[in-house]
Amino acid sequence: MLLCMASAFQLIKTQISITIRNDLGNTEEGATVKLYATEDDYKTEKNPVAEGTTDAKGIVKFKELKAISYFVLAQKDDKDNFGGGEQTGKLEANRVNKVTIVIQ
């Protein structure tokens, strides 16, 4: 049985869990989050690799990503993180990577 569990862990794809908070530190439900592979795409807001909306806990998850750094653009109403140069570190392959982004 332990062998089955060990092999199941190897099936995890490279993922990222992003928490969006406002400038008061509260989580933001309903924020749109886009991932970009290049800085040019991020600056022009073209060709997102993935996009989603945060849940009630302010979290959005993206699965089956490449183990690279991504630029993150998060927006809700008149708040965003644009210009903050929000870039993740290089994602660890076959892991759930976690990032927190602040929008203001």
Q: Tell me the residue range of the domain where 34 lies.
A: 17-103
**Position 35 in a domain:** yes
**Position 10 in a domain:** no
Nearest-angstrom CA–CA distance, 23 and 21:
7
**Position 45 in a domain:** yes
**Position 30 in a domain:** yes
Q: Specify the CATH number for the domain of residue 86.
A: 2.60.40.1120
pLDDT given for residue 53 in this prediction: 98
Nearest-angstrom CA–CA distance, 29 and 9:
30
Q: Give the pLDDT of the chain (104 residues) as one tens digit per residue.
A: 444 444 444 577 999 999 999 999 999 999 999 999 999 999 899 999 999 999 999 999 999 999 999 999 999 999 999 876 689 999 999 999 999 999 99
Tally of structural domains, the chain: 1
Nearest-angstrom CA–CA distance, 82 and 31:
13
**Position 5 in a domain:** no
**Position 7 in a domain:** no
